Amino acid sequence: MMLSFLLYGMVKGEDIYGAFARGAGKAFPLIARILPYMAAMMMAISGFRACGAMDFLNARLAPLASALRFPRELVPLFLLRPFSGSAGMALLADVYETAGVDAFPSFAASVMLGSSETIFYTIALYFGAVGVKKTRYTLPAALFSMLAGAAASVWLSALYYK
């Protein structure tokens, strides 16, 4: 991809060095524009995790999860994943350790993590960058897709797990 961009520019006889510098120069103002939004979001996420509301939710949701035959090891992962990528990976490592890498919960957790994203972070970043404040139905639709993804992960894992 990098090479094709460069080659195309060279073939066209463009001033690629200058073009690169002009593009890279736009990166810093962009970072400066999104930083306040990232800071606001990460501050809220970090505080939310520290206050213990997560553990509370986790404890409430565990019985519901087992009623739905959703592996209970996956509940904390499901709750934290939309907020933080690194926390998601840490929790996945945790599941691997407690359940064993090749056990079913680990398998399902891998699938779930691989097929989901850090929704809150992405939304804050992308809308923050262009200054959109009313995000309308983006968040509900994204959460709906995440819920569907989690259900699909468990279902497909059950199909593929040997």
Partner 1 sequence: MDFVWGGMLFLSLTVGVLTGQGGVVADAMLAGAGEAVRLCIDLCGAFMLWMGLMNVAEEAGMIRRLSALLQPVTARLFPASAKAAAPITLNLAANFFGMGSAATPFGLEAMAAMQENNPKPDTATADMCLFLCLNASAVELLPTGVLALRASCGSADVYAIVVPTFLASLLCAAAAVLGCWLGRRWSRRTG
- Determine if 112 is a binding residue for partner 1 (CB under 8 A): yes
Q: In whole angstroms, how large is the CA radius of gyration of the chain?
A: 21
2 vs 67, beta carbon nearer partner 1: 2
DSSP letter at 13 equals T
| Dist. CA 94–CA 76, nearest whole Å | 11
Contacts of 89 (CB under 8 A, 6+ apart): 113
Piece in contact with partner 1 (CB under 8 A), picked from 60-68, 72-80, 111-119: 111-119
Window 118 to 157, contacts with partner 1 (CB under 8 A): 119-120, 122-127, 129-142, 144-149, 152-153, 156-157
- Determine if 1 is a binding residue for partner 1 (CB under 8 A): yes
Q: How far is the CB of 107 from partner 1 (least distance, A)?
A: 6
| Dist. CA 24–CA 19, nearest whole Å | 9
Cβ–Cβ < 8 Å for 46, 61 = no
- Contacting residue, 64, 97, 98, 104, with partner 1 by CB under 8 A: 97
- Determine if 53 is a binding residue for partner 1 (CB under 8 A): yes
Structure tokens of 36? Answer: 């306040």
- Determine if 31 is a binding residue for partner 1 (CB under 8 A): yes
Structure tokens of 154? Answer: 């468990």
- Determine if 110 is a binding residue for partner 1 (CB under 8 A): yes
- Contacting residue, 9, 58, 61, 72, with partner 1 by CB under 8 A: 9
